[in-house]
């Protein structure tokens, strides 16, 4: 199937694996969660950014669609997207913050005309949501 070869599908597959591993760590102590992230997730983050940078550096032609925007966004936010790898207390994403403040920003225009996004240190989930329909 063409979808399975798409850049968006590949990105979502990589991101889903990160979330799957993080889910397994959620009930651990902060120290154990950090160790688990260092052991299991750090390499996936390294691979993701190497892959994304290679795509965007021109080695692969990528459309100017939402997938390209999402990849550029994640590359530009890399420093912040990695914060959770060095602190067991930092969540993998900012979903809880977004849910908490969303009632206050309904109707506001955010990044790519989406309300309540780009508000915290880890926005990989945002990238995943913007690329679901993009098949580039």
pLDDT digit string (tens) for 29-45?
999 999 999 999 999 99
The proportion of the chain whose per-residue pLDDT surpasses 70, expressed as a percent, equals 63
Measured in degrees and rounded to the nearest 5, phi and psi for residue 115 equal: -70, 150
17 part of a folded domain: yes
Residue 7, in any domain of the structure: yes
What number is the average pLDDT over the span 108-118?
A: 46
pLDDT: is 52 or 124 the higher one?
52
Hey, what are 130's tokens? 């913007």
Is the pTM of the predicted complex or chain greater than 0.85? no
Q: Could you give the number of structural domains in the chain?
A: 1
> Cα 43 to chain center, whole Å?
15
Q: How confident is the model at residue 7 (pLDDT cuts 50, 70, 90)?
A: confident
Q: Burial-class residue 13 by CB neighbours within 10 Å (0-12, 13-18, 19+).
A: exposed
Residue 98 forms part of a structural domain = no
| Predicted confidence (pLDDT) at residue 3 exceeds the cutoff of 50 | yes
User: Does some domain include residue 103?
Assistant: no
- HSE value, Cβ hemisphere, 13 Å, CA-based, for 61: 0
Range of the domain at 63: 2-89+122-131
Q: Across the chain, what does the average pLDDT equal? A: 77
Let me know if residue 35 belongs to a domain.
yes
Q: Is the pLDDT of residue 96 over 80?
A: no
**66 in any annotated domain:** yes
């Amino acid at each position: 199937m063409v979808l399975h070869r798409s850049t968006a599908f590949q990105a979502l597959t990589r991101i889903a694996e990160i979330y799957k591993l993080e889910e397994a760590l959620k009930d651990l102590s902060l120290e154990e969660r950090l160790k688990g992230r260092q052991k299991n997730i750090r390499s996936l983050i390294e691979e993701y950014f190497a892959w994304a940078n290679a795509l965007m550096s021109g080695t692969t032609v990528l459309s100017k669609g939402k997938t390209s925007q999402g990849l550029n966004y994640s590359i530009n936010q890399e420093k912040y997207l990695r914060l959770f790898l060095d602190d067991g207390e930092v969540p993998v994403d900012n979903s809880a913050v977004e849910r908490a403040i969303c009632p206050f920003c309904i109707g506001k225009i955010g990044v790519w005309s989406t309300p309540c996004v780009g508000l915290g240190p880890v926005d990989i989930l945002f990238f995943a949501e913007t690329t679901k329909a993009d098949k580039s």
